[in-house]
Amino acid sequence: MTIPPSKVPQRVLVTGASRGIGRAVAVLLAARGDWVAACGRDVAALTELVAESKQEGGAGGIFAVPGDVTSEQERAGLLDAAVAVLGGLDALVLSAGIARHALFGAITDEDLGATLSTNLVAPVLLAQRALGRLSDGGAVVLLGSNLAHRSVAGTLAYAASKAGLEAAARTMALELAPRGIRVNVVAPGAVDTEMLRGRDLSGLAKSHALGRIGRTDEIAEAVLFLLDSPWTTGTTLIVDGGALLQ
């Protein structure tokens, strides 16, 4: 696939960039000429991502900014590092997340707390901390899930965290509109990432109207669409192969 270059290169912080959707977003952004601060906890994976990006020879570039978004101290540090290497900040793509599934009645305090902390609290507080660095007219894209819109047994904690993220995004969009900062959500269905390892992928494929699970690059394309949509804010773009039609 050919990625058209950005009209003006953007400086973007991407969390969860060491693997999965976050990594795919970083790769597509760099390929079209944007500059990316790639955040994640896996330093080796980030180093590999940077090296691969240089080999590909994209018009932009990727810098590794290791950090744990659930840590208040590390959130501050990774933002400082991102602004330092990029020279500013035009957009955030907040992709870091975890999935701990259990049926209601077997959900632990630790699993519920960790899920909400990573999937809801961390992106909201990171975006808030970034406000003083984010350019007016910039954009924030949050990674949600179609599970915020459908009930699947065993996904209570994850679904609640993603539904909360959508609600937060709408309020953020309203409050940041005077600065021209747009806030949107991409809500994927099942995507071929490490989160699905060990699960019955053929069964998951059948739950999508198009008959297959998604690819990370397909979700990354939706993220770039929202980054580039100047009159779209406070909305959720569901990219799930028709799972909600079933």
Domain CATH number, residue 53: 3.40.50.720
> Does 39 fall in a domain?
yes
116 alpha-carbon distance from chain centroid: 15
Rounded Cα–Cα distance for residues 150 and 207 (Å) = 12
Percent of the chain at pLDDT > 90 equals: 88
Per-chain mean pLDDT for the chain: 94
N-to-C CA span, the chain: 29
> Does 5 fall in a domain?
no
> Does 47 fall in a domain?
yes
pLDDT of residue 1: 46
Of the candidates 28, 69, 145, 158, the residue annotated as catalytic is 158
> Does 3 fall in a domain?
no
If one counts the domains in the chain, the total is: 1
List the Cα angle 215/172/147 in 5-degree steps. 35
Q: Which residue's structure tokens are 């390929």?
A: 31
Burial of 89 (0-12, 13-18, 19+ CB in 10 A): buried
Rounded Cα–Cα distance for residues 112 and 51 (Å) = 36
Rounded Cα–Cα distance for residues 125 and 112 (Å) = 18
pTM: 0.94
Show the tokens assigned to 103. 């049926």
Average the pLDDT over 179-208 and give the result: 89
Query: pLDDT tens digits for 125-170?
Result: 999 999 999 999 999 999 999 999 999 999 999 999 999 999 999 9
Q: Which residue's structure tokens are 């507080």?
A: 125
> Does 199 fall in a domain?
yes
> Does 137 fall in a domain?
yes
pLDDT of residue 4: 55
45 alpha-carbon distance from chain centroid: 17
Could you list the residue range(s) of the whole structural domain that residue 114 is in? 11-245
Q: How confident is the model at residue 95 (pLDDT cuts 50, 70, 90)?
A: very high
Phi-psi sector, 187: left (phi>0), alpha (psi -120 to 50), beta: beta
- Interacting residues of 5 by C-beta distance below 8 A, sequence separation 6+: 32, 33, 59
Rounded Cα–Cα distance for residues 91 and 142 (Å) = 11
Q: Is 158 a catalytic residue?
A: yes
